[in-house]
Amino acid sequence: MCGRFTLTVNPADYLTGFRFPPIFAPRFNIAPMQPLLAIPNDGRNAATFFLWGLLPFWAKDAAMAARMINARGETLAEKPSFRGAYKYRRCLILADGFYEWQKVAGTKKKIPHYIFMKSRQPFAFAGLWEDWESPDGSRVKTCIIITTKPNELVASIHNRMPVILPPNVFGQWLNRNPHVDLQSLLVPYPAEGMDAYPVSDMVNNAANDCAECVVPTQFLD
C-alpha cells in the first residue's frame, strides 16, 4: 500500500535526460485524487501532471479512480484493469519520500512513518498510466503506483511498499516495446539505502500539505 507521498525537492536538479515543468512547488502530503508529477513512456521524455487514481478506458465515470491508487506488481499481467497499461503505458512517478502506517498491537491506533532515501534525493515509483475520455468528451491523464512486498526496513512498519526503480532501469521501464520482460524490476528497493522515522498524525488529513508533515515526532511538541 502507498497512500501518501512527498516531492519536496525539484527533480530537475537531480534527474538528467528528462524535461520538467518550469515551475516547481514542493508537496509534503500528496494524496489520492490529487495531481502528481510523472514521466510517461510516450516517447517525449517529459514530466507532466497526472491524476492519482487509474481510470481504464472502459471506466464509465471518474468515481472508480479513488479505488485505483495501487496495483500489486505480482498480478499486473492477470488483472483486466492493468494488463493493457502494463504492456503499453508505463510511467515513472516522481517522489522523495512516502508514508506508511504502523499498527499498534492491541489497539486500533496506527502510527504514520516517513520513509525516504538516506541520500535525501528524489526517486521514481514504477507506475502505469491511462488517457481516459470522460462521457462529456474531455480527457484526463490518470496513473497508479505499483506495489510489492516490503524490504527489511519497511516490513517493520507495513506489509507492502511501492516499487522504487533505480535510475539504471528507467530506460527499460519506459521502453515502449510491449514484449519486454519487466517482472524482474518489480522487487523491493534495498533497505540499506533507505531510512524512516515516525511523524505526526497530521499527515492523515490531506488538507495538511506543509513541511511539518515530515518532521520527526521527537521534534514536535
Cβ–Cβ under 8 Å, residues 162 and 147? yes
Q: How far is CA 33 from the centre of its chain?
A: 12
100 in active site: yes
Q: Pick the catalytic residue: 2, 91, 143, 213?
A: 2
Q: Pick the catalytic residue: 91, 100, 130, 213?
A: 100
Cβ–Cβ under 8 Å, residues 199 and 213? yes
Cα–Cα distance for residue pair 93/173, rounded to 1 Å = 12
2 in active site: yes
Cα–Cα distance for residue pair 21/86, rounded to 1 Å = 26
**Which of 138, 165, 175, 116 minimizes the C-alpha distance to 62?**
138
Cα–Cα distance for residue pair 105/174, rounded to 1 Å = 41
The catalytic site residues sit at 2, 100
